[in-house]
Amino acid sequence: MPGASLASGMCFDGSDTIGVEPTPDALRVMTASDNISASSSITNAVFAQGKLSIGITLPITGDDQGVVDFSEQIALAQLADRLGFRALWVRDVPLNSIDYPDPVGHLDPWVLLGALASNTEHIALISGAIVLTLRHPLHVAKGAISVDTLSRGRFILGVGSGDRPPEYAAFGRDPEERRDLYRRHWETLAAAVTVPSRVIPDASPEGAPEFYLLPRPHASIPMLAVGSGGQSVDWIARHSLGWMTYHREPQAQRGRYSMWRAAVDRAASGAFRAFGVAMRLDLVEDADEPATDISLGYRTGHRGLAAILRDMRESGTHHVTLNITSERRPARDIIEEVAAHVLPEFHR
């Protein structure tokens, strides 16, 4: 979906299309239950049955703003932490080009996540999403364990396959192989961030030593599918703590959730699997202004926002991250208004 990252604030698989389920013995990949039980505290704060939590996507910018003051972004993150938002989401944008409508100069996600870990206390930190197909999974594991250590267990590792196919050539990758690459990298990554941590090398020549990662993860780091990565919903339900997708109109999103629930029942019967949405928000000063559609979200007042979130909760959504547009109002004012008038209903 061209432009999805810009509008939604997330880095998704291009069309969020669902792939074909591989044969059962094609790969042995850890299931979600292998790697989320030890990290239940932070996952429960963000994803809980019958509840909806609210997060914020960074950076918060205007539509055409290319230069970001990241000292201000850290201050906004600290404000969100103090006011009770449940998660901060950080994108992975390896390259910029004139062919893709995203003028923002994004920091390397691991650098920004490290800064957030050191400057916040309670809020979950989530990568939304590390482009797993363009990064070596052992490097991703090292970054994830580092952020989880600095944040004292507040990290959720969201991974995707990106939404910019031309980037694959720049990194020497074939976009036609992204589905298989995603599964292989997931397997290596899950082994490394799940207790007990294991390193699966790409090759093991005779006499090669056994490798391990230090520091070791204190607990298994939960892994979240952001977009589909070209996989089937059954695969995602089996291996991920949940599925993060982008905003759709309500009827279409309910259909998406029904498809997800059916996959969970088939592939992870009896287990809880989360469903989350990234939604763009233009919050106006008039609290009673009704919601109108904008690209991948809504323009509305805080009462309209609460009604939208209420409907999403009833439809099965467990988490919404707000991609706030700050064209007309300071981001700080929007964060404070949502915290004062919306969070109390949902974060009880």
What's the total number of domains in the chain? 1
**Tokens, residue 37:** 């039980």
**Conformation bin of residue 316: beta by default, left when phi > 0, alpha when psi is -120 to 50:** left
Q: Residue 291: which CATH number?
A: 3.20.20.30
pTM, entire model: 0.92
CB within 8 Å of 302: residues ≥ 6 apart: 283, 287, 337, 338, 341, 342
Q: What integer pLDDT is reported at residue 326 of this predicted model?
A: 76
Mean pLDDT by 10 residues, the chain (348 residues): 41 55 48 57 96 98 80 98 99 87 86 99 98 98 99 98 88 95 98 98 93 96 97 98 96 96 97 98 98 96 99 98 91 98 98
**Tokens, residue 109:** 């996600």
Domain of 300 in residue numbering reads as: 4-17+25-202+209-346
Q: What integer pLDDT is reported at residue 7 of this predicted model?
A: 40
Q: What integer pLDDT is reported at residue 97 of this predicted model?
A: 86
Nearest to 240, CA basis, from 186, 278, 315, 320: 186
d(CA 86, CA 347): 9
Q: What integer pLDDT is reported at residue 17 of this predicted model?
A: 60
Nearest to 300, CA basis, from 277, 278, 322: 322
Distances in whole angstroms, Cα of residue 123 to Cα of each of 9, 43, 86, 164, 178 = 18, 11, 5, 30, 32
d(CA 194, CA 200): 12
